[in-house]
């Protein structure tokens, strides 16, 4: 008798996804590895960009406003570096840059770079996301789109908002900004 093929389908689907993902993650032969255009180490913003105490006060209640302000982002990244969790802000920045990418080729290259740097197990700057979120993200990378990293980015944003932002707001550096 023939085996029940329905038992084999999930396995085949998983192999298909693995094969497509493997193809996506292979280094292109004819192109130089694409470099994501955001700095590895942020430079200190010039003094002129320093926010007013009123503007800095808004960051207590809005991680989004903090991350959108160049001085705020640099300050927050410096703080996270001191706590050994800078990869969270770097991942968020990389995702923001990725979402602005129009070219499918560049999008695939950036997706590969973000995956290798932040998502894959033992990545150099692996972010702390749950297995389900990681699985969904990997599945999304089979056909990269502007929303491929959305779930992971939201998880990391929530982690920074709940965990890192309150500590940043209590930090000496932030306290100096709001005086």
- Per the document, the length of the chain is 179
The CA distance from 171 to 11, in Å, is 50
pLDDT digits (tens, 9 = 90+) for 68-114: 999 999 999 999 999 999 999 999 999 999 999 999 999 999 999 99
Give the mean pLDDT of the chain: 82
The CA distance from 80 to 94, in Å, is 16
> Is residue 5, in this structure, part of any structural domain at all?
no
pLDDT digits (tens, 9 = 90+) for 45-69: 444 378 999 999 999 999 999 999 9
Q: What is the pTM of this model?
A: 0.72
> Is residue 83, in this structure, part of any structural domain at all?
yes
Domain harbouring 161, CATH code: 1.10.167.10
> Is residue 40, in this structure, part of any structural domain at all?
no
> Is residue 138, in this structure, part of any structural domain at all?
yes
Measured at the CA of 82, the angle between CA 81 and CA 85, to 5 degrees, comes to: 45
> Is residue 165, in this structure, part of any structural domain at all?
yes
> Is residue 39, in this structure, part of any structural domain at all?
no
pLDDT tier at 15 (50, 70, 90 boundaries)? Answer: low
Q: Indicate the helix (H) or strand (E) that contains 137.
A: helix 131-140
How many domains would you assign to the chain? 1
State the DSSP code for 42: P
The pair of three-digit structure tokens given for residue 164, joined into one six-digit string: 């890192």
pLDDT at 177 (0 to 100) = 87
Q: Look up the domain containing 149 and give its range.
A: 53-176
> Is residue 122, in this structure, part of any structural domain at all?
yes
Question: Concatenated DSSP letters for 73-124?
Answer: HHHHHHHHHHTT-HHHHHHHHHHHHHHT---HHHHHHHHHHHIIIIISTT-T
Spatial contact of 116 and 107, defined as CB atoms under 8 Å apart:
no
């Amino acid at each position: 008798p023939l085996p029940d093929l329905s038992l084999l389908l999930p396995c085949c689907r998983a192999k298909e996804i693995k094969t497509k993902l493997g193809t996506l993650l292979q280094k292109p032969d004819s192109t130089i590895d694409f470099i994501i255009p955001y700095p590895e180490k942020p430079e200190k913003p010039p003094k002129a960009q320093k926010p007013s105490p009123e503007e800095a006060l808004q960051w207590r209640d809005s991680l989004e406003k903090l991350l959108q302000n160049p001085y705020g982002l640099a300050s927050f990244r410096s703080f996270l570096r001191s706590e050994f969790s800078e990869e969270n802000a770097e991942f968020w920045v990389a995702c923001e840059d990725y979402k602005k990418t129009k070219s499918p080729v560049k999008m695939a290259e950036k997706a590969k770079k973000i995956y290798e740097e932040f998502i894959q197990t033992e990545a150099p700057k692996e972010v702390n996301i749950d297995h389900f979120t990681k699985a969904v993200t990997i599945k999304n990378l089979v056909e990269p789109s502007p929303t491929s990293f959305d779930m992971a980015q939201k998880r990391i944003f929530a982690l920074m908002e709940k965990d890192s932002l309150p500590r940043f707001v209590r930090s000496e550096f932030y306290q100096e900004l709001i005086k």
